[in-house]
Amino acid sequence: MPARIEPCVATLVDKPPNGPDWAFEVKWDGYRLAVHVEPGRVRIITRGGFDWTDRFAPIATEARQLGHPTMILDGEAVVLDDKGRSDFGMLQRAVGRKPSLHDPREILFFAFDILYLDGRDLSRVPLSERRRLLESIVVAGRAGVIRLSEEVVAEGEEFFRIACEHGLEGIVAKRRDKPYRSGRRPDWQKIKCVRSDSFVIVGYEPSTMPGAIGRLLLAARKGEGLVYIGGCGTGWTYQESVKLRELLDTIVTDQPAVALRRRGAVFTRPVLVAEAEYRAWTQDGKLRHPSFKGLRALEDGAGVFNLEENRGMGL
């Protein structure tokens, strides 16, 4: 049994594909996880390869009850709002609280693939066969903390339109006939209703409000370095802004990670990642109307936006 399988990552595209070769699912807004059921233990591994089993203990407990001695499930941990939509901010708050302060069933795991089962490596098997096996273990409509990310039978464009009308983040399209291949692949495609990506925090500008942040200074990857792509000044409450500034003040540096001169700015070491929604990119490569959604830890494998990998997406 492999100790870890590097996850397959969907490629961002503007429009959904169509045709019988594609399967469609909701795009969940949470933490990408692999659930490893092994003899005598269960491990929950982040996209970046870190063990977060202790943070998702109810998922680990339920995985033992699925009836198979060895198994690897690929999926997303989420918290749903009152309309059944995944909310990254709610998930982050739930993960950050002590277990005694929230319902252990609040965090759900939506399984959308199975990579290993009872001694058999399934990564070379077509998606259609992997889904058949997955659906026999995590059945549709299951009410536990481990649930099935169900396929939606629809044309891609129609499903995308309906998903956006209902306030979802977007959809994912997957080739039914392809094996599971690690890394960013065109076999899996994501189409977002509202653009949302991860950016490195390289500093902040203080607010006129005492102890708060006025704007976060954000950067994207380009080659081996980072490039400043603008500031984000919305998406938090005053209390959240104060806590964020307290955190950033612990990693202040006098050596900015990007080429930027800004009077009054406080620069930080590039170790924290912000998830931000935005409408588009400006012609000079800056985010248009970004809004802060929450922090991502580097160990959850947050895929920091890479300018070179996303050419053609309005850049």
Annotated active-site positions, please? 27
pLDDT tens digits, the chain, 315 residues: what are they?
899 999 999 998 989 999 999 999 999 989 999 999 999 999 999 998 999 999 999 999 999 999 999 999 999 999 998 888 888 778 877 876 555 445 656 899 999 999 999 999 999 999 999 999 999 999 988 889 999 999 998 999 999 999 988 888 899 999 999 999 999 889 999 998 888 889 999 999 999 999 999 999 999 998 889 999 999 999 999 999 999 999 999 999 999 999 898 889 999 999 999 999 887 788 788 998 899 998 876 655 557 888 887 765 555
* DSSP per-residue letters across 263-315: TT-EEB-S--EEEEEESEE-TTS-EES-EEEEEE-GGGT--B-BTTTTTTS--
Q: List the CATH code of the domain at 29-148.
A: 3.30.470.30
Inter-residue contact 83 to 165 (CB < 8 Å)? no
CATH homologous superfamily, domain 195-300: Nucleic acid-binding proteins (2.40.50.140)
Q: Which residues of the chain does CATH 3.30.1490.70 include? A: 9-28+150-193
Stretch(es) of the chain classified as CATH 3.30.470.30: 29-148
Q: In the chain, where does the domain assigned CATH 2.40.50.140 lie?
A: 195-300
Residues in the chain: 315
| Rg of the chain over all Cα atoms, to the nearest angstrom | 20
DSSP string across 12-55: E-SS---STTEEEEEPP-SEEEEEEEETTEEEEEETTS-B-GGG
Residues 9-28+150-193, CATH architecture:
2-Layer Sandwich (3.30)
Residue/partner pairs of 47-53 with CB below 8 Å, 24 or more apart: 47/7, 47/300, 47/301, 47/302, 47/303, 48/298, 48/299, 48/300, 48/301, 48/302, 49/4, 49/301, 50/299, 50/300, 50/301, 52/299, 52/300
Say how far apart CA 152 and CA 80 lie, in whole Å. Answer: 19
Please answer whether residues 177 and 21 qualify as being in contact, where contact means their C-beta atoms are separated by less than 8 angstroms: yes
